[in-house]
Amino acid sequence: MFSSVWKRRFRWRRFSVRTLLICVTLSAVFFAYCGQRLVRAQKERTSVARIIELGGTVNYSGSSVLEDQNGASQLIAVFFYEDFSRVTSVGFEGVSFTDAAIEPLKGLSSLQHIGLCGANVDETALIRLQQELPNVYVYK
């Protein structure tokens, strides 16, 4: 008698190995997606820090919601803000632009414009910039 009551009462806690594998697979896909977006945000943040260190300015397409957040709040921001930390334009007005400034620019996937007005531009750096980032418009 006790065993039949126990079986009925705790039956909902049972699940098959197939259900477990489906849940693990869905969790793995979810966390891989989260990790990919966070890695992209970290790469852009590193590039922006290097550009600012070189004397450049950075403009975002939307709000930069990930700048002051860490941990769980950053993960939530990744899903609720589609355009997080999307750098669309960079300016090097009034500073020298050399080959060292090209490397961080390659880490910005949504870059559209580079402003070099009034900058001391090295000709070899300008040629290399146009070769490595052909889809980016350069203002001189």
Whole-number pLDDT of residue 24: 96
CA distance linking residue 110 with residue 76, whole number of Å: 21
Sequence length of the chain is 140
Whole-number pLDDT of residue 10: 60
Tell whether 36 is covered by a domain.
Answer: no
Tell whether 31 is covered by a domain.
Answer: no
Tell whether 56 is covered by a domain.
Answer: yes
For residue 131, the enclosing domain spans: 44-140
Whole-number pLDDT of residue 74: 61
Tell whether 5 is covered by a domain.
Answer: no
Whole-number pLDDT of residue 62: 60
Whole-number pLDDT of residue 29: 97
Tell whether 132 is covered by a domain.
Answer: yes
Region at 55 (left for phi over 0; alpha for psi -120 to 50; beta for the rest): left
CA distance linking residue 107 with residue 109, whole number of Å: 6
Whole-number pLDDT of residue 5: 60
Number of folded domains that form the chain: 1
Q: Are 68 and 45 in contact (CB under 8 A)?
A: no
Q: What would the two tokens of residue 59 be? A: 């403009």
Interior angle at CA 50, CA 49 and CA 53, nearest 5 = 90
Tell whether 78 is covered by a domain.
Answer: yes
Ranges in the chain, pLDDT < 50: 64-66, 83
Tell whether 39 is covered by a domain.
Answer: no
* Threshold 0.75, pTM exceeds: no
Tell whether 92 is covered by a domain.
Answer: yes
Whole-number pLDDT of residue 126: 86
Pairing of strands 57-60, 87-91: antiparallel
